[in-house]
Amino acid sequence: MVPSSRFRTENLPMDTDLPTTCVIVGGGPAGMIAGLLLARAGIEVVVLEKHRDFLRDFRGDTIHPATQDLLAEMGLLDDFLALPHADMPRVRMSWWGQDLTLADFTHLRTRRKVMTFMPQGDFLDLLADAGAREPQFRLIRRAEVVGLIQEDGRVAGVRASTPTGELSVRARLVIAADGRDSAVRDATGLIPVGGAAAMDVLWFRRLFYTSPSPPDRQKSRSLPFFSVGEGLVIAIDRNEFLQIAHVIPAGSWRGETRDLAAMRTRVAAIAPSLTPAVGALEVGDMRLLRVRIQRLRRWFVPGLLCIGDAAHAMSPAGGVGINLAIQDAVAAVRLLAPALRRGTPSVADLRRVQQRRMFPTRVIQGTQRAMQRFLLTSPRPRRMPLTLRMLARFPVLTRLTGRLIGVGPRPEHLDG
Ligand SMILES: Cc1cc2nc3c(=O)[nH]c(=O)nc-3n(C[C@H](O)[C@H](O)[C@H](O)COP(=O)(O)OP(=O)(O)OC[C@H]3O[C@@H](n4cnc5c(N)ncnc54)[C@H](O)[C@@H]3O)c2cc1C
Q: In total, how many domains does the chain have?
A: 1
Residue 59 Cα to ligand 1 midpoint, Å, equals 7
How many whole angstroms separate alpha carbon 320 and alpha carbon 365?
10
Among protein residues, the one with the nearest Cα to ligand 1's atom 15 is 321
List helix spans (H) across 5-102.
5-8, 29-40, 65-73, 77-82
Residue 184 DSSP one-character state: H
CA 289 to chain centre: 13
Choose one of 123, 145, 322 to mutate for the ligand 1 pocket test, by most ligand atoms within 8 angstroms of C-beta: 322
* Ligand 1: nearest atom to the Cα of 54: 49
Q: Is residue 30 part of a domain?
A: yes
Q: Is residue 95 part of a domain?
A: no
Residue 1 pLDDT class (50, 70, 90 cuts): very low
Of all helices (H) and strands (E), which one includes residue 380? none
Among protein residues, the one with the nearest Cα to ligand 1's atom 10 is 319
CB 72, CB 111: distance < 8 Å? yes
Among protein residues, the one with the nearest Cα to ligand 1's atom 52 is 59
Cβ count near 411 (within 10 Å):
19
* Ligand 1: nearest atom to the Cα of 323: 11
Q: Is residue 282 part of a domain?
A: no
Strands annotated E in 70-224: 86-88, 90-95, 98-104, 115-117, 137-141, 144-151, 154-162, 165-170, 173-176, 193-204, 208-209
CB 319, CB 401: distance < 8 Å? no
Residue 309 Cα to ligand 1 midpoint, Å, equals 7
Residue type, 201: V
Check residue 213 and give its pLDDT.
45
Starting at the edge strand found earlier in the chain, the sheet holding 62-63 runs: 62-63, 115-117, 86-88
* Ligand 1: nearest atom to the Cα of 321: 19
Which of 223-232, 306-315, 332-341 is the least confident region?
A: 223-232
Q: Is residue 246 part of a domain?
A: no
Whether 229 shows a pLDDT value over 80: the answer reads: no
Residue 213 Cα to ligand 1 midpoint, Å, equals 33
Pocket of ligand 1 (CB under 6 A): 25-31, 48-51, 58-60, 62, 144-145, 177-179, 183, 203, 289, 308-310, 314, 316, 319-323, 325
Read off the pLDDT of each residue in 326-341 and give the average, rounded to a whole number. Answer: 98
Whether 382 shows a pLDDT value over 80: the answer reads: no
Q: At 165, phi and psi to the nearest 5?
A: 125, -170
Among protein residues, the one with the nearest Cα to ligand 1's atom 51 is 59
Residue 185 Cα to ligand 1 midpoint, Å, equals 15
- CA-angle at 82, arms to 205 and 2, nearest 5°: 100
Check residue 231 and give its pLDDT.
73
Closest CA to 249 of 60, 368, 377: 377
Whether 225 shows a pLDDT value over 70: the answer reads: no
Residue 283 pLDDT class (50, 70, 90 cuts): confident
* Ligand 1: nearest atom to the Cα of 29: 25
Residue 85 Cα to ligand 1 midpoint, Å, equals 20
Read off the pLDDT of each residue in 147-162 and give the average, rounded to a whole number. Answer: 96
Residue 214 pLDDT class (50, 70, 90 cuts): very low
Output the 3-class SS for the chain.
CCCCHHHHCCCCCCCCEEECCEEEECCCHHHHHHHHHHHHCCCCEEEEECCCCCCCCCCCCEECHHHHHHHHHCCCHHHHHHCCCEEECEEEEEECCEEEEEEECCCCCCCCCCEEECCHHHHHHHHHHHHHCCCCEEEEECCEEEEEEEECCEEEEEEEEECCEEEEEECCEEEECCCCCCHHHHHHCCCCEEEEEEEEEEEECCCEECCCCCCCCCCCCCCCEEEEECEEEEEEECCCEEEEEEEEECCCCCCCHHHHHHHHHHHHHHCHHHHHHHHCCCHHHEEEEEEEEEECCCCEECCEEECHHHCEECCCCCCCHHHHHHHHHHHHHHHHHHHHHHCCCCHHHHHHHHHHHHHHHHHHHHHHHHHHHHHHCCCCCCCCCHHHHHHHHCCCHHHHHHHHHHCCCCCCCCCC
* Ligand 1: nearest atom to the Cα of 320: 11
Among protein residues, the one with the nearest Cα to ligand 1's atom 45 is 26
Check residue 362 and give its pLDDT.
95
Residue 179 Cα to ligand 1 midpoint, Å, equals 5
Q: Is residue 230 part of a domain?
A: no
Residue 292 pLDDT class (50, 70, 90 cuts): confident
Read off the pLDDT of each residue in 56-80 and give the average, rounded to a whole number. Answer: 90
Check residue 318 and give its pLDDT.
78
* Ligand 1: nearest atom to the Cα of 184: 41
Residue 48 Cα to ligand 1 midpoint, Å, equals 14
How many whole angstroms separate alpha carbon 264 and alpha carbon 279?
6
Closest CA to 391 of 97, 96, 104, 65: 104
Residue 178 Cα to ligand 1 midpoint, Å, equals 8
Which of 20-29, 31-40, 142-151, 241-250 is the least confident region?
A: 241-250
C-alpha radius of gyration, the chain, whole number: 22
Closest CA to 117 of 213, 239, 28, 217: 239
pLDDT tens digits for range 103-121: 999 999 999 999 998 889 9
Whole-model pTM: value is 0.90
Among protein residues, the one with the nearest Cα to ligand 1's atom 26 is 308
Residue 168 Cα to ligand 1 midpoint, Å, equals 24
Among protein residues, the one with the nearest Cα to ligand 1's atom 21 is 322
Read off the pLDDT of each residue in 360-389 and give the average, rounded to a whole number. Answer: 78
Domain encompassing residue 30:
5-64+117-193+293-373
Tell me the percentage of the chain whose pLDDT exceeds 90: 57
How many whole angstroms separate alpha carbon 301 and alpha carbon 151?
13
* Ligand 1: nearest atom to the Cα of 182: 38
Q: Is residue 49 part of a domain?
A: yes
* Ligand 1: nearest atom to the Cα of 31: 25
Q: Is residue 396 part of a domain?
A: no
Read off the pLDDT of each residue in 248-269 and give the average, rounded to a whole number. Answer: 87
Q: Is residue 223 part of a domain?
A: no
Decide which of 127 and 316 is more confident. Answer: 127
Domain harbouring 45, CATH code:
3.50.50.60
Tell me the percentage of the chain whose pLDDT exceeds 70: 86
Choose one of 32, 47, 122, 178 to mutate for the ligand 1 pocket test, by most ligand atoms within 8 angstroms of C-beta: 178
How many whole angstroms separate alpha carbon 330 and alpha carbon 312?
16
